[in-house]
Amino acid sequence: MSRKPKKGYFVRGQFVAEGSEMDIALKAELKGTHDASRTDLKRESDELQDLGKELLTLRADLLNGIGLPDKLIGALAEAKRITNFEGKRRQMQFVGKLMRKITPEQVQDTRTALTTQRSGSAHEKLALHLAEQWRDRLIGQDSAQAEWIAYHPGTDIQQLRALIRQARKDAASAHEAAVAESQGLAPRKGRAYRDLFALVRVQLAGGANVDGDDSGGNFADDMDAGQGEGGHDV
């Protein structure tokens, strides 16, 4: 009497009977791989959705340089115009859907553009902080003038000294400053104070020194990071 053939399948030339330990193990492996793939796809989709949100903050010149599809550019522009919460949420879902259709190269270019913008913002903050430090030191220390001129010989010296003198005259007296502080008000700054900041800012943005050092001079390294004002006077 012939035996009834077992049901099963072949894997790499080996017969696997249905219900066997190998069959159960292989099916579990396939199921795990499938679930993992779904998880990876969901994570990738969420990342692209978040990337689309970041594109709303990207400067126009950097955005146009990526080469994204016109439909996606238009969807981003529409998302910026929408103020209704639910409407904006739906529009961003649409943006996310379009983001999943762009090429890997465009995704990478998008990340690069966002990094470029963040780096530029950090550099701008550092430059403003350095200008604030120099302005306050020029007003507060006579020796700082000679040091500044040594680092930036192209500065209009007469204008620099005139602004420093006027800024010192405009500075509030100790009594006025104490009264303002007691009232929770910041002492008022005159025009010379702001103009001196502008002069320093322009000179710092002028490039490297003659000997190739950073345009801020050694002062940028020596100053304590806690000095200077919290705000920027422009």
Judgement on whether residues 138 and 201 belong to the same structural domain of the protein: yes
Helix (H, G, I), strand (E, B) or coil at 16: strand
- Counted domains in the chain: 2
Has residue 24 been placed in a domain?
yes
- Rounded to the nearest 10 degrees, how much is the dihedral formed by the CA atoms of 38, 42, 43, 49? 160
Count the Cβ atoms, other than its own, within 10 Å of residue 97: 15
d(CA 194, CA 199): 9
Give 127-151 as a DSSP string: HHHHHHHHHHHHHH-THHHHHHHHH
Write down the pTM of the prediction: 0.41
| Coil vs helix vs strand at 10 | strand
Higher-confidence residue: 19 or 65?
65
- Report which of 56, 90, 89 is spatially closest to residue 73, judged by C-alpha positions: 56
**Could you tell me if residue 232 is inside a domain?**
no
The region, left, alpha or beta by phi > 0 then psi within -120 to 50, assigned to residue 12 is left
User: What is each CA distance from 26 to 22, 29, 96, in whole angstroms?
Assistant: 6, 5, 36
On whether residue 16 sits in a domain, the answer given is: yes
**Residue 43 belongs to a domain:** yes
Radius of gyration from C-alpha coordinates of the chain: 32
Q: Residue 227 has what pLDDT?
A: 41
Least-confidence region, from 24-38, 40-54, 84-98, 132-146: 24-38
Domain presence at residue 116: no
Q: Are residue 92 and residue 138 in the same domain, yes or no? A: no
Looking at per-residue confidence, does 224 or 113 come out higher?
A: 113
From 189, 39, 216, select the one nearest 127 (Cα to Cα): 216
> Residues 96, 31: one domain?
yes
Residues 88 and 159 occupy one common structural domain: no
The predicted pLDDT at position 75 comes to 93
Q: Which residue would you say has higher pLDDT here, 11 or 199?
A: 199
Q: How confident is the model at residue 187 (pLDDT cuts 50, 70, 90)?
A: low
- For residues 46 and 130, state if they share a domain: no
Mean pLDDT of 110-132: 82
pLDDT recorded at residue 87: 92
Q: 77 lies in which domain range?
A: 8-102
Together in a domain, 131 and 213 = yes
Residues 91 and 150 in one domain: no
- pLDDT, one tens digit per residue, over 148-177 is 988 888 889 899 999 998 888 887 554 565
- pLDDT attached to residue 94: 93
Averaged pLDDT of the chain: 76
Percentage of the chain beyond pLDDT 70 is: 69
Q: What is the CATH number of the domain that holds 201?
A: 1.10.60.30
One domain for residues 87 and 128? no
pLDDT band at 209 (very low <50, low <70, confident <90, very high): very low
Question: Any residues with CB less than 8 A from the CB of 144 and at least 6 apart, and which?
Answer: 134, 137, 138
Domain assignment of residue 23, yes or no: yes
CA gap 150, 207 in Å, rounded: 15
φ/ψ of residue 122, rounded to 5: -65, -40
Name which of 79-83, 126-130, 145-149 the model is least confident about: 126-130
